[in-house]
Chain A
Amino acid sequence: MSILANRDTRAVIIGGVAGLNAAKRMAQFDFLINRPLTVQAFVYPPEEGQQKEIYRGGELNNVTVYSSLNKAVEENPEINTALIYIGASRAYQSAKEALDSKGIKLVTMITEGVPEKDAKRLRKYALEKGKIFNGPSSIGIMSAGECRLGVIGGEYKNLKLCNLYRPGSFGVITKSGGLSNEAMWLCAQNGDGITSAVAIGGDSYPGTDFVTYLNMFENDPDTKAVVIVGEVGGTLEEEAAEWLDKEIRRIKVIASIGGTCQDVLPQGMKFGHAGAKEGKKGLGSARSKINALRAAGAVVPETFGGLSKAIKQVYQELLKSGVIKPEAELDEKLLPTLPPSVQEVMKQGEVIVEPLIRTTISDDRGEEPRYVGYAASELCDKGYGIEDVIALLWNKKLPTREESEIIKRIIMISADHGPAVSGAFGSIIAACAGIDLPQAVSAGMTMIGPRFGGAVTNAGKYFKYGVKEYPNDIPGFLNWMKQNVGPVPGIGHRVKSLKNPDKRVKYLVEYVKGKTTLHTPCLDYALEVEKITTSKKDNLILNVDGTIGCILVDLDFPEYSLNGFFVLARTIGMIGHWIDQNNQNARLIRLYDYLINYAVKEEREVPEKR
């Protein structure tokens, strides 16, 4: 037997993420004792219609979130308990609705920081309705082997350690949530465990008091003794003492009252729960509560640590007198173990999971990213630059200083080429249309292809092919290209020519060949090709794409990575154009009619549809 919550309890949780976490913990308990899921529904308007995934052991349940309590109970008529997790400003209304709901007999409020007046009103309302309002600030209610409401009892392992899978003989009533768990543990360690444990919350005016629950425990034949953990403030403990004193009670009462230290503290210095405040003239002091309880026959040790001994003593007496029959302890190994997550099993090496993707360049699992093993901050500290990070992530190698300088120059030279080219223009049009930065830059990016900037890869690829297959036979290479590819990528320019050379190409070639010791077979080959092609036509020069492609091949970058340099470099320019347009608050662009040749049909009538 138990009080308040049992195997027939079905709950609705009112509130958001805290309530969801509680539901998960509650389902663990459901799994431990093999009972149906306690939580039947959530009420939380912002997430109306969502399904929450709740595991009861390995079994996945979907629990619906409703926008109102009425809808939740309409669809789940077996609900008889409500747990309030919603914020303090809405807690009162939610609890009142729950008390109004016909099938709901118990409302327990976990929410903290609820105004006193709201709690007082809810208490009164519940009394009028003949229902129980527990809390606010209650960690929950636990009935061993029957039902768990809230996160009371903590993690799964603790549920077993506290013997919560089967009923014992002790009831527990506490104000504090942490101490409810402690008290359950003490009852398991020094006795045979609990029937039910209730946290009433540490507020000034809890909805339900010690006496209400003492009466319930007195009427529960399985409960033989009750552990009360109270504290300074209010008169609930005194009332409990009065109750105990009034007539002969079946149950034994063990109590511990916090706050005796406040007698010796500087005047006015108070701390602890909201309700832990002594009244005028020592009313509600811990000492007066202890005295009252002792006078009424309760066992009250001097410190909380003394509870262990007190519980043990009462348990031994009850065993001796035959009130409690000793039961054989269950072998804990028979209890179900919580199915571990894939991660946990993998850690123990008991399962193989085929990875979905593989990476060889970057690792984010430590305190900071590592690029091919090197910590990013260490690279910074040792004077490496962005060009080295590019080389690491694109080619898994740290370049030499000379190589880095070349990479840096390639990017600097390619960063932008004015607003007129397809990429920049695309970004500018998007910026003018009010498109945000990432999308506007992507608009420019989509222009990169065979006619704009996308020739680097192919240039590198085919010149490399030439070096390998036609090392001393440029005409043979050109012939092969003509037959198999078409125009040689990287050769030719719309405006530049031998007489009007591309300064960028000139600079790069002179720099690489004149100022570095880089071995440049591919670039040399391309320059030989240029000699032949320009002899045929003046503008068939080695263009900037071709130059970059060859140098990058000579730097040993994989050929399919080469367009990346143009993409990366030009991103800098496109972002610049987007910022520039926004700085100027540029207007929407529309083409003028006179820039369009409307080569269209004359106006004509639409024929009838046949």
Chain B
Amino acid sequence: MAKILEGPAMKLFNKWGIPVPNYVVIMDPDRLAQLGEANKWLRESKLVVKAHEAIGGRFKLGLVKLGLNLDGAVQAAKEMIGREIGTSVVRQVIVAEMLDHDEEYYLSIAGNRDGTELLLSNKGGVDIEDNWDTVKHLFIPLDETPSIERITEAALDAGFIGEVAERVAKIASRLILCFDNEDAQSIEINPLVIRKSDMRFAALDAVMNVDWDARFRHADWDFKPVSEIGRPFTEAEQQIMDIDARIKGSVKLVEVPGGNIALLTAGGGASVFYSDAVVARGGSIANYAEYSGDPPDWAVEALTVTICRLPNIKHIIVGGAIANFTDVKATFNGIINGFRESKSKGYLENVKIWVRRGGPNENLGLAAMKKLQEEGFDIHVYDRSMPMTDIVDLALNS
């Protein structure tokens, strides 16, 4: 799943003939003034300025400004760019034409196992959740293209009338094309409006997810997916992602501020169960982490060092299932080196470490981990005979 920002989504809409208002994405407010000299619409239309970042609740944060002229837009851009929101900084804004309109429509499409589901409603806008019963569904089986008549029927069913229904159907058919050809996972247009001045349609807002695994067949994808964790990535997360991109296997990290139980867990499946176990036993996790696919020891070491630096942690859970092919000895070597380095720099004081693991070279790996006791680590090591997540129970009861 890869969420993309409004700008790249609008670009893909343009590519597939889905009408969008005029817009520009800028990093420098002075550039906006220059663009104003070149583009009539910037001088003559009412404008909306939005922070072009993966930040939730932009409206409440004052990161959306409406009804501005060009000077106002430049001013708004100046105020937004560089603003710090939590751990992130606003770097880009999108400036778009405001379109005078009456009705707001809703149009979306999302994949499921057997095909895709097209959703239409003539009661779009911010209240769409409240009007969910007005939304009509059209199921499109995999690799089939519904006729324009079939879509029009669905539009009529959703309350669109006459020519508007036909025109909505046409936009919907292009949306289906865009969805299919861009390996999208979901696209939501809310609202879709008709501009009063010339009665032309335009998608005012776009939320789009694309299948990042399909990027090998999209040479023109010049964007990067934005964080899916509801906030921009932290520096530590970014560092681990950079390592992840370079290695065989993978290392992952998500920080969860406020928690005191750190996870240094193996495997995409097992790691989630460890998080679950902490929560189920009333603890709070300080992070989610995962290494899998037999990653090199230095990558696991880097992950370990990062996790040891998480603030206020009391326990580290070095958990994992019985690996199929990840070498326990080699990956544990990385963890041990990371622990030693962290300890020498003053971390890990009063931190208890709990280990449970199995897999290739498990005996050697576990023995090496156990030897850390001699170096003054408060470490508790268990083999496969300990039920996987029960080290969490031990940690929380200690």
The chain A residues found within 8 Å of chain B, CB to CB, are: 21, 25, 88-89, 113-118, 120-121, 123-124, 139, 151-155, 158, 161, 174-182, 185-186, 189, 202, 204-205, 229, 231-232, 234, 256, 258-261, 263-274, 276-277, 286, 302-309
Contacts and interface: CB of A to CB of B under 8 A. Distances in A.
A154 B229 contact: no
Interface stretch (B304-312, B342-350, B382-390): B382-390
A265 B180 CA distance: 33
B268 A272 contact: yes
Nearest to B258: A266
16 contacts: A21-B325, A120-B111, A124-B114, A176-B267, A178-B269, A178-B270, A181-B321, A181-B322, A181-B324, A260-B280, A261-B276, A266-B229, A267-B230, A269-B254, A271-B272, A271-B288
Interface stretch (B5-13, B149-157, B208-216): B208-216
Contacts of B231: 266, 268
Contacts of A265: 256
B340 to A, nearest CB: 17
Given A88-B213, A116-B213, A121-B142, A182 B272 contact: no
Given A181-B324, A204-B1, 7 more contacts: A114-B213, A115-B211, A121-B143, A231-B269, A261-B278, A276-B272, A303-B280
Interface size class of B (residues with CB under 8 A): 35 or more
Nearest to A140: B324
B44 interface: no
B324 A151 contact: yes
A175 B269 contact: yes
A154 B268 contact: no
B123 interface: no
Contact of A303 (B213, B252, B385, B392): B392
Contact of A88 (B142, B216, B270, B320): B216
A89 B228 CA distance: 24
Interface string B196-239: 00000000000000010110110000000000111100000000
A259 B275 CA distance: 8
B113 interface: yes
B142 A120 contact: yes
A158 B323 CA distance: 10
A553 B326 CA distance: 57
B68 interface: no
B292 interface: yes
A490 B275 CA distance: 81
Given A174-B269, A268-B56, A182 B388 contact: yes
Nearest to A175: B269
A294 B211 CA distance: 33
Contacts of B360: 154-155, 158
Contacts of A306: 387
B230 A178 contact: no
A113 B213 contact: yes
A202 to B, nearest CB: 6
B214 A115 contact: yes
Given A121-B143, A267-B230, A185 B268 contact: no
B125 interface: no
B73 interface: no
B229 A231 contact: no
A492 B388 CA distance: 84
Most A CB within 10 A of own CB, among B56, B229, B272, B361: B272
A270 B321 contact: no
A247 to B, nearest CB: 24
A179 B228 contact: no
Given A266-B256, A269-B229, A154 B324 contact: yes
Interface string B94-117: 000000000000000001011100
Nearest to A257: B276
A107 B113 CA distance: 19
B359 interface: yes
A231 B272 contact: yes
Given A158-B358, A176-B268, A266-B230, A139 B143 contact: no
A139 B294 CA distance: 13
Contacts of A277: 1
A117 B183 contact: yes
Contacts of B323: 154, 178, 181
A493 to B, nearest CB: 59
B392 A178 contact: no
Contacts of B388: 182, 304-305, 307
A304 B183 contact: no
Nearest to B184: A117
Nearest to A185: B322
A409 to B, nearest CB: 45
B190 interface: no
Nearest to B256: A265
Contact of B321 (A179, A261, A272): A179
A136 B320 CA distance: 22
Most A CB within 10 A of own CB, among B213, B270, B292: B213
A21 B360 CA distance: 14
A316 B221 CA distance: 57
A178 B324 contact: yes
Contacts of A261: 272, 275-276, 278-279, 285
A272 B274 CA distance: 11
Nearest to A120: B142
Contacts of A151: 324-325
B393 interface: yes
A150 to B, nearest CB: 8
A516 B390 CA distance: 76
B260 interface: no
Contact of B389 (A181, A231, A234, A303): A303
Contacts of B143: 121, 124
Contacts of B230: 266-269
Contacts of A118: 214
B277 interface: yes
A202 B269 CA distance: 8
Report the 10 A-B pairs with minimum CB-CB distance, sorted nearest first.
A176-B269, A268-B230, A178-B267, A182-B321, A115-B214, A305-B389, A305-B387, A304-B273, A258-B272, A261-B275
Most A CB within 10 A of own CB, among B323, B390, B392: B323
